[in-house]
Structure 1
Amino acid sequence: MWRSIASNALTLLIVVLIAFAGVIAWGKREYTAAGPLEQAVCLRVPSGSTMRRVSDDLASKGAISYPSIFRIGADYSDKAQQLKAGSFLVPEGASMAQITDLITRGGASTCGTEVVYRIGVNRAQMQVRQLDPATSAYVETVEFQPGEEGVATPEAYTKVRGEADTRYRVLVAEGTTVWRVVESLKQADFLSGSVEGEEMPKEGMLAPDSYEVRADSDVDELIARMQESQQMRIDTIWAQRTEGLPFETPEDMLTLASIIEKETGVAEERRQVASVFENRLKRGMRLQTDPTVIYGVTNGVGVLGRGLRQSELQSDSPYNTYVVEGLPPGPIANPGFASLEAAVNPDATPYLFFVADGTGGHAFAETLAEHNANVVKWREIEAQRASQ
């Protein structure tokens, strides 16, 4: 009898062990197999969250079928205590193992809210946008101008400003002045520190680019990053300059690049515009470019907002390139990488003149007669637009 009981018990134990091993094998397969998620979702993990809370959230989103297996797998792989706060893009069909790795390895959030602060030539705009997991494209939720008189800060921005996983990006446009960048940064309440009373960076020395920052990053450190980036660009491009340029220093390159930047917004024209100015410099002709005169009037502060007066075109300002010869005494804006490259590697052209052509670009000419004909065409376009 006892032998029978013992035999049955042993058999039962073997069956249980086999079943348990089967459950474990099934659990491992489920943990590593493709998940049920049919469309990518954004998973937000608040600070102080737990694996149980996260697994329940994932299950409600349809990303996992078995929350308990998810937690067991995370614990078995020693990742249960490594949960990171943030917003994470969970891709379609992601396995539980992949999701566990995603939310425990750390690093920047991969979805959720992003605040983009765009510093343009004339003004700065704050934009709050959310990533649409289905399209992997950002959708704007609100846009406003910080510090605008009589306009309250939108609640949509105030809400995300206090969230730990909100990401921030500062975009500096090509052709901005140092004054515009510094004044705009003063209005960025997600940055800490103050540029009040600090010595202004030199004109042209803040690299136009996209800068990812953390909430409450020091504004002086950001400005230093911009300066270091611009200096690195200058050093790199100057070392690759072509022979026979009509200027001798990196500072001259920066000055010419800033003029090119202000004269055209068409990428394909930069080297042509550079060729016009360098052909003029080689022939001893004055540059005769309006942006330098405007800078002499505004000193880079604000926007002129009107046409140039005859008195300004005849002034003895060192930036009046209708009167002075050669380059002005310094840059008139922050040029981008492409304009710096164009300054030291211009197209080989015979052009000495250019004027707007009505399409956003310019008509180039070798002779004054050709140029005057192009000017007449441009005046006709201006008149037609004024009459509409």
Structure 2
Amino acid sequence: MTDQIPPTPTPASAPPPAKPAEKRRTSRHAHHPVIVAGSAFFTLLLIAIVLGGGALWYGKSRYYAPGPLAEDKAVVVPNDYGVMDIADLLVKQGVIDDKWVFVGAAVGTRASGKLKAGEYAFAKGASIQQALGTLVSGKVIEYTVTIPEGLTSDQIVERLTEVAELSGAIRQVPREGSLMPDTYKITRGTTREDLLRRMMRTQDATLKEVWAKRDPDLPLKTPEELVILASIVEKETGVAEERPQVAAVFLNRLNKKMRLQSDPTIIYGLVRGKGRLERPLTRTDISTPTPFNTYTIPALPPGPIGNPGRASLEATAKPAKTKNVYFVADGSGGHAFAETLEQHNRNVARWRQIERDRKIDPTAQPAGTSGTTGATAID
């Protein structure tokens, strides 16, 4: 068998030679400055969006997260503090632990101009949201100042001086009887002068109202006389339901041109409202004239002997309908009332027996207690 020789390829059957790759030309517009700048801008915008989204997520989580306070805390925000100052203060006081989230939230919610000065209570674990809301609300901590009925103006000024939440000095002691004893709400930093002005306004309004509703046949010519007598009623009894009866006794005495014979007026004449008489009243005290001693003057004293409360003003303006002109302590904290001297003497005898049983000095009445009108008098 003869070997076959493969045929030699002819040009017609050979594969065509490969063409060299064409070189792609870059567009002239790809390097245009506007295109480059636009591309960079959108790249930066994308990065900003990613970062901003992350920051927003972080800030939001910190905004609502519980704060570092381990227990409730009061913080005073001064008047001249801006949002940055307040943020620094809250961080320093341990209320929040992220100053910039607080500032960002205050600015972002347009609350930065609504933050109010004052003393605020922040709850344990308060979030930045809650802390910001507390400051925007303006609900500052309130304190109460209670002024008991019957205190003199000097004694009231002394009490206000001792209230740490109040500020400022009192330049002048108010006129006796011009202040309304009550419980007043204040905020830290309220001035003592401001509180006194509130007390005077309250007294003025109360006196006008009570005077307008007074019994028409009272032997009192002016609202000032009502205050004078009410201040004596206030000092004479601490039993609320007795006030109209005590007021009636004094008013009946005024109608009969009798001396009031009130022990608290003796005390006021001796100390002039500067404090208490730290000893019992004596018979010498009773017989020694002063402008306020109603055992020696035949009328109302020249001014109040303290600051009466509303109840005493009302009792004096609308007294009980009785003919009693005497009363004396009954040993139970109240008083025994009498229309005649004979009845009164019996009541006095009972009181003297109580004094002996209790080993109380019968020649003296303890200063600062309820008076014993007529007990040491001869009429």
Q: CA 1:272–1:27 in structure 2 vs 1: closer, same or farther (change >3 Å)?
A: farther
CA distance in 1, matches of 2:141, 2:187: 15
Q: Deviations over 1:97-126 (max 9, x none)?
A: 55422123436x327xx6xxxxxxxxxxxx
2:53 is the alignment partner of 1:79: no
Q: Taking CA–CA contacts closer than 8 Å with sequence separation of 6 or more, which of the two structures ends up with the larger relative contact order?
A: 2
Partner of 2:299: 326
Confirm or deny: 8 A CA contact 2:73 2:124 kept in the other structure: no
Which of 238, 244, 248 is matched with 1:275 structurally? 248
Alpha-carbon deviation of 1:280?
2.6
User: Which one is further off, 84-93 or 279-288?
Assistant: 84-93
Cα RMSD over matched residues?
4.6
1:252-291 equivalence runs, <5 A: 252-291=225-264
Confirm or deny: 8 A CA contact 1:177 1:203 kept in the other structure: yes
Q: CA 1:366–1:92 in structure 2 vs 1: closer, same or farther (change >3 Å)?
A: farther
Which of 132, 145, 150 is matched with 1:175 structurally? 150
Alpha-carbon deviation of 1:308?
2.8
Alpha-carbon deviation of 1:171?
4.6
Aligned to 1:292, what secondary structure does the other structure show?
helix
Confirm or deny: 8 A CA contact 1:170 1:213 kept in the other structure: no
Aligned to 2:248, what secondary structure does the other structure show?
helix
2:169 is the alignment partner of 1:192: yes
Q: CA 1:24–1:368 in structure 2 vs 1: closer, same or farther (change >3 Å)?
A: farther
Q: CA 1:78–1:289 in structure 2 vs 1: closer, same or farther (change >3 Å)?
A: same
Partner of 2:23: none
CA distance in 2, matches of 1:285, 1:378: 23
2:102 is the alignment partner of 1:102: no
Q: Deviations over 1:22-68 (max 9, x none)?
A: x98999899789x899x9833425556544774794468xxxxx999
**Ranges in structure 2 where 5+ consecutive residues have no aligned partner:** 1-48, 361-379
Q: Give me the TM-score of the superposition, normalised by structure 1.
A: 0.60
User: Which one is further off, 236-245 or 302-311?
Assistant: 302-311
CA distance in 2, matches of 1:24, 1:79: 18
Aligned to 1:303, what secondary structure does the other structure show?
coil
User: Which one is further off, 262-271 or 316-325?
Assistant: 316-325
Q: Deviations over 1:327-382 (max 9, x none)?
A: 22322222122211111012223433222233333233344444334333333433
Which of 73, 76, 99 is matched with 1:42 structurally? 73
Q: CA 1:71–1:183 in structure 2 vs 1: closer, same or farther (change >3 Å)?
A: closer
User: Which one is further off, 260-269 or 79-88?
Assistant: 79-88
Aligned to 1:295, what secondary structure does the other structure show?
helix
Alpha-carbon deviation of 1:259?
0.5
Aligned to 1:192, what secondary structure does the other structure show?
coil
Which of 335, 347, 351 is matched with 1:362 structurally? 335
Which of 319, 335, 341 is matched with 1:346 structurally? 319
Letter in 1 for 2:329: A
Letter in 1 for 2:264: P
CA distance in 1, matches of 2:320, 2:216: 13
Question: In terms of Rg, which structure is larger?
Answer: 2
User: Which one is further off, 336-345 or 96-105?
Assistant: 96-105
1:132-151 equivalence runs, <5 A: none
Q: CA 1:348–1:104 in structure 2 vs 1: closer, same or farther (change >3 Å)?
A: same
Aligned to 1:297, what secondary structure does the other structure show?
helix
Confirm or deny: 8 A CA contact 1:258 1:339 kept in the other structure: yes
How many corresponding residue pairs?
Answer: 307
Q: Give me the TM-score of the superposition, normalised by structure 2.
A: 0.62
Alignment identity in percent?
41
Greater percentage in strand? 1
Q: Deviations over 1:241-288 (max 9, x none)?
A: 122212221121011111011111222322221122223333333322
2:351 is the alignment partner of 1:374: no
Letter in 2 for 1:257: A
Aligned to 2:328, what secondary structure does the other structure show?
strand
Partner of 1:63: none
Alpha-carbon deviation of 1:191?
1.9
Q: CA 1:79–1:273 in structure 2 vs 1: closer, same or farther (change >3 Å)?
A: same
